[in-house]
Structure 1
Amino acid sequence: MSLKNINVLIVDDDKEIRDVLHVYLRNEGYHVLEAEDGLQALQLLQQHEVQLIILDVMLPKLDGIAACLQIRERSAIPIIMLSAKVESLDKITGLSTGADDYVTKPFHPVELMARVKAQLRRQNFLSLREEEPSEIHIGDLSIHKKQHLVKVRGAAVSLTPIEFSILELLAANRGQIFSVGKIHECVWKEQTPFFSDNTVMVHIRNIREKIELVPRKPQYIKTVWGVGYKIEK
């Protein structure tokens, strides 16, 4: 897909932020759509094919969390959340609702552009991988790459695209320990100083909540303290 065919939707009620991001995105070659509230964003998604969403948390009419939940009911579009809130709980909430990344305000547009590129590269990588009709089975856990489907004890589990990629990475390389930085590099397809260790750890926590019987005593994703994470052979 060429850059001119990539639509990025900015959802923020602050016109100055929308204007700045619009300029940076257009300079990168992307086509830009804008919405100032969650309801308008949902309407635009019905009218246009969008490859990435930059979504503010605090929005009128329909906030970013609620909008993200509705988007995730029907789409795996990469979502980068923006928020002035820096507390860990807010970040966990944003990622738990299906966001792929989380950026706190104030931020530098160059950092956000790096994250946009990383998400688009990752999405393209996933599209290529989905052509491979392969499956991974580990005990009661099954990962169906082509269908982008995960089942635990026969029941389908809903994972976000990032969560699926992390689980697939660990499952495809059983016995290998991945540091937080290496997981970020492999999944986000980006070596960048802007990534947060906590972002990866929140995604790991979310995966465990969905696939483990007892998340505090994980059967699948093991923590190697001071080193990283792995799935045993």
Structure 2
Amino acid sequence: MKETHILLVDDEKSILQMVEMVLKKEGFHHIHTAETGAEALQIVKTTPLHYIVLDVMLPDINGFDLCTKIREYTDVHILFLTARVTDFDVLTGFEKGGDDYVTKPFNPLEVVARIKAQLKRKQLISHPGAVIPNKKLYDFGHFTVDEDAGELSVDGQLVSCPAQVFLLLVYFCKNVNRVLSKEQLFTAVWGYDHMVDDNTVMVHIRRIRERIEPDPSNPIYLQTIRGLGYKLVKDYS
């Protein structure tokens, strides 16, 4: 945690100070703060970040639009802080490249718990699967997933993949040809004891399909098993 860089973006100083204080108590030392989108983007451009907590309502730019700009520079995990609680707002956040969200008012301990859980999942996610010996490289012909390099290649071309989408895809690769429920996926990849929002998994499944499927509307690799969950198929023919 000593080398973990976290960016907090909010126009309320009290929130920044509160979350920063709790993070420092939990052993995080490299904490960056920004009160505007412009400040945040400058930090993103110059600092290797591991996690971003991003407020939706900023004085100079909408947090959703800022997320899109951030994605031009990094695939780091982004957690939205939002007072918006409708399904449309939540889905908008995911579509713009966000990975998770917490609604205001919130308990800073919950935010810190999510940060710790996500960083832990990123480091320790390890389940058996079809992997090439001595390499964390998963080859499905049409696409390959290089876990060590953090790369997804489709038809030989590198494809941009946000951190949370990549982690979910890796988990499927490690459990190839197994049916996984939404609850299993949420617990394993997001690191929470219970599923907070059904939309979270569904949107990330769609984001994977948009990258690996020849026709995302008719998936052949990442299949829906009605009433049970999802399955990444190694030999679909």
TM range (shorter): 0.7 to 0.9
Q: CA-to-partner distance for each residue in 1:155-210, whole Å, 9 max, x for gaps?
A: 3322111111211221232211111121122223x242363232111111111122
Q: 2:100 matched to 1:101?
A: yes
The answer as to whether partners of 2:220 and 2:233 remain within 8 angstroms in 1 is no
Letter in 1 for 2:198: D
Cα 1:56/1:149, change in 2 over 3 Å: same
* 1:150–1:158 CA contact under 8 A, matched in 2: yes
Matching residue within 141, 154, 157 for 1:155: 157
- Secondary structure of the corresponding residue to residue 224 of structure 2: strand
CA 194–23 in structure 1, closer or farther in 2 if over 3 Å, else same: farther
Report the Cα distance in structure 1 between the residues aligned to 2:195 and 2:179, rounded to whole angstroms. Answer: 23
User: Residue 194 and residue 107 in structure 1: after superposition, are their counterparts in 2 closer, same or farther (change >3 A)?
Assistant: farther
Question: Superposition RMSD on alpha carbons, in Å?
Answer: 2.2
**In the alignment, residue 23 of structure 2 is paired with which amino acid?**
L
Question: Residue 8 of structure 2 aligns with which residue?
Answer: 10
Q: Determine the structure 2 residue equivalent to 1:129.
A: none
Aligned to 2:131: none
Matches of 1:10 and 1:204, distance apart in 2:
27
Structure-2-length-normalised TM-score: 0.84
Whole-Å separation in 2 of the counterparts to 1:214 and 1:144: 22
1:209 equivalent in structure 2? 210
- CA shift at 1:48, angstroms? 4.2
Q: Distance in 2 between matches of 1:46 and 1:178?
A: 37
User: In structure 2, do the counterparts of structure 1 residues 176 and 63 end up closer, same or farther at CA, with 3 Å as the change threshold?
Assistant: same
**CA shift for structure 1 position 35:** 0.8
**Unaligned residue ranges in structure 2 (runs of 5+):** 126-133
Equivalent residues of 1:37, 1:63 under 8 A apart: no
1:146 and 2:148 matched: yes
Task: Give the equivalent residue in structure 2 for 1:22.
Answer: 20
Read off the aligned partner of 1:161 and give its amino acid letter: A
Displacement of 1:221: 0.8
**Letter of the aligned partner of 1:58 in structure 2?**
M
Change (3 A) 1:173 1:47: closer
**In structure 2, distance between residues paired with 1:99 and 1:150:** 19
Stretches of 4+ aligned residues off by more than 6 angstroms? none
8 A contact 1:157–1:210 mirrored in 2: yes
Q: Is the 8 A contact 1:78 1:123 kept in 2?
A: no
The offset of 1:78, in angstroms, is 2.1
Structure 1, residues 65-110: CA drift from partner, whole Å, max 9, x if none?
Answer: 2322222222232221111111222222222232221222222222
Deviation at 1:26, TM superposition (A): 2.2
- SS in structure 2 of the partner of residue 162 of structure 1: helix
Give the CA deviation at 1:47: 4.8
Q: TM-score if structure 1 supplies the norm length?
A: 0.85
1: distance between equivalents of 2:26 and 2:195? Answer: 19
Against the structure 1 CA distance between its residues 194 and 21, is the aligned structure 2 distance closer, same or farther, given a 3 Å change threshold?
A: farther
Q: Which runs of 5+ in 1 are unaligned?
A: 127-131
- What per-residue deviation string (whole Å, max 9, x for no partner) do you get for residues 5-33 of structure 1? 33322101122322321222222122332
Q: After superposition, give the CA deviation of every residue in 1:92-151 in whole Å (9 maximum; x if it has no partner).
A: 22222322212222222222121111122133347xxxxx64322224122222332222
